[in-house]
Amino acid sequence: MSETTPTSETDRTTTEEPDRETTEEPNQTTTEEPNQTTTAESTEADDSTNATTHTTTGEADERVREEWREYEFAGKPKFAVEDLDVHYGDDHALQGVSIEIPENSVTALIGPSGCGKSTFLRCLNRMNDRIKGARVDGSVRIDGREIYQDGVNLVELRKRVGMVFQSPNPFPKSIRENVAYGPAKHGDIETGLLARLLGRSDEAARDRLVEECLRDAALWEEVNDRLEDNALGLSGGQQQRLCIARCLSVDPEVILMDEPASALDPIATARIEDLIEQLSEEYTVVIVTHNMQQAARISDQTAVFLTGGELVEYGDTDQVFEDPRSERVEDYITGKFG
């Protein structure tokens, strides 16, 4: 096939972005370099040209076609994203991304390292707002309501749209406190604001909630006899399920996951995958994964981003994997590049 980028996705993803949302990561740019050339060129050349004219490094002149991204689904869209562009300084990380994400399902985001998957995910709860130098243009609506407008309560937004990161990041507190922390802080359940105003705390209600979230995160059986233990003593897979429990504790509608299993062994990974499938009955799950088998196993629909920050193909997961419409996507999926 045509020339490929010299790096391999699988070689590098495990160490990527330990906790990206608060840091600026000056190193990132250098490690991502092989994939970045087109972005740099296109930004230099002309920002205003049609995004579809930019193709990826080392690939043929395939032009992205609108119909490769058309995906008809039953049910309601949870997210409607239109013409989303993200710049980090002069770097054009996402180009004109438009996509609708159905509720109560699993949407996988795949693509080579540096193609903007994490950036896209962070747009869905305005986490990029925290990154210095990041500029977001375009529209993201949740249940029809624009989140990129003045007056949006970001705390409330991130409660509705929770996030689980690649490396489990529990607080250095007890298992119980990790799960109870959010509701207490947000003050919207029995144990929260009202209790504090009344000067008492309803421990029974708190404990019920902790149990419910740990059960939903498939962790209860393993930790119910040691809820006071420090969460950092749990295994990696348990810590990740604890982070999912913590995310569930504030009653979100959406769970964003950025490579949530890539630091885990195969058994812990399988548990997380089972859990994701269960969660999608009640929640909208959007997951970034570099593991294509994982995407194929757990997702209902798959969005493929390629270098340059373009959404190239989007559709039913079986269709994307078995009969991709884009040649570049086919090359990526069959391992010819990336």
Ligand X SMILES: Nc1ncnc2c1ncn2[C@@H]1O[C@H](COP(=O)(O)OP(=O)(O)O)[C@@H](O)[C@H]1O
Q: Which CB atom, from 133 or from 233, has the smaller least distance to ligand X?
A: 133
- Binding track, positions 162-191, relative to ligand X; x by CB under 6 A: ------------------------------
Does position 166 interact with Mg ion (CB under 5 A)? The reply is no
Q: How far is the CB of 307 from ligand X (least distance, A)?
A: 9
Q: How far is the CB of 253 from ligand X (least distance, A)?
A: 23
Give the full edge-to-edge strand order of the sheet including 91-102.
Answer: 91-102, 77-88, 134-142, 145-146
Nearer to ligand X, 91 or 177 (CB): 91
Smallest gap from residue 21 Cβ to ligand X (A): 9
Alpha-carbon distances of 74 from 78, 104, 193, rounded to whole Å: 12, 11, 39
The option from Mg ion, ligand X, none interacting with 91 (CB < 5 to 8 A, set by class) reads: ligand X
Angle of helix 175-186 versus helix 236-248 axis, rounded to 10? 20
- Residue 119 binding: pick among ligand X, Mg ion, none (C-beta 5-8 Å cut-off by kind): ligand X
**Closest approach of Cβ 176 to Mg ion, in Å?**
31
162 forms beta bridges with 255
> For residues 69-108, b (16+ Cβ closer than 10 Å) or e, as one string?
bebeeeeebbbbbeebbbbbeebbbbbbbebbbbbbbbbb
- Name the helix (H) or strand (E) containing 158: helix 154-160
Measured torsion, CA atoms of residues 185, 187, 191, 194, in degrees rounded to the nearest 10: 140
Contact positions with ligand X (CB under 6 A) in 73-92: 88, 91
Nearest to 147 by CA among 166, 127, 131, 171: 127
CA atoms of 210 and 180, how far apart (whole Å): 6
Compute the least distance from the CB of residue 53 to ligand X, in Å: 19
Does the footprint of Mg ion cover residue 42 (CB under 5 A)? no
Of 95, 105, 113, 302, which one interacts with ligand X (CB under 6 A)?
A: 113
- Residue closer to ligand X by CB (options 29, 319) is 29
> Using the rule CB under 6 A, is 117 a contact of ligand X?
yes
DSSP characters over 160-182? HEEEE-SS----SSBHHHHHHHH
115: contact with ligand X by CB under 6 A:
yes
From the list 49-57, 109-117, 138-146, 210-218, the region that binds ligand X by CB under 6 A is 109-117
Distance between CA atoms of 51 and 40, rounded to whole angstroms?
A: 13
Q: Is residue 128 at the binding interface for Mg ion, with CB under 5 A as the rule? A: no
Q: Which residues, numbered 100-119, are part of the site for Mg ion (CB under 5 A)?
A: 118
The site map against ligand X for 25-64 (x = CB under 6 A) is: x--xx--x---x----------------------------
Q: Does 35 bind Mg ion (CB under 5 A)?
A: no
Quick one: which of 58, 96, 114, 315 contacts ligand X (CB under 6 A)? 114
Asked whether position 284 contacts ligand X by CB under 6 A, the answer is no
Asked if 286 touches ligand X (CB under 6 A), the answer is no
Residues 238-257 interacting with Mg ion (rule: CB under 5 A): none
CB proximity list for 259: less than 8 A, separation 6 or greater: 13, 16, 166, 288, 289, 290
Cα–Cα–Cα angle for 152, 304, 253, nearest 5°?
35
Residues 83 and 281 sit within 8 Å (Cβ to Cβ): no
Contacts with ligand X by CB under 6 A lie at 24-25, 28-29, 32, 36, 88, 91, 93, 111, 113-119, 131
Q: Using CB under 5 A, list all residues that contact Mg ion.
A: 118
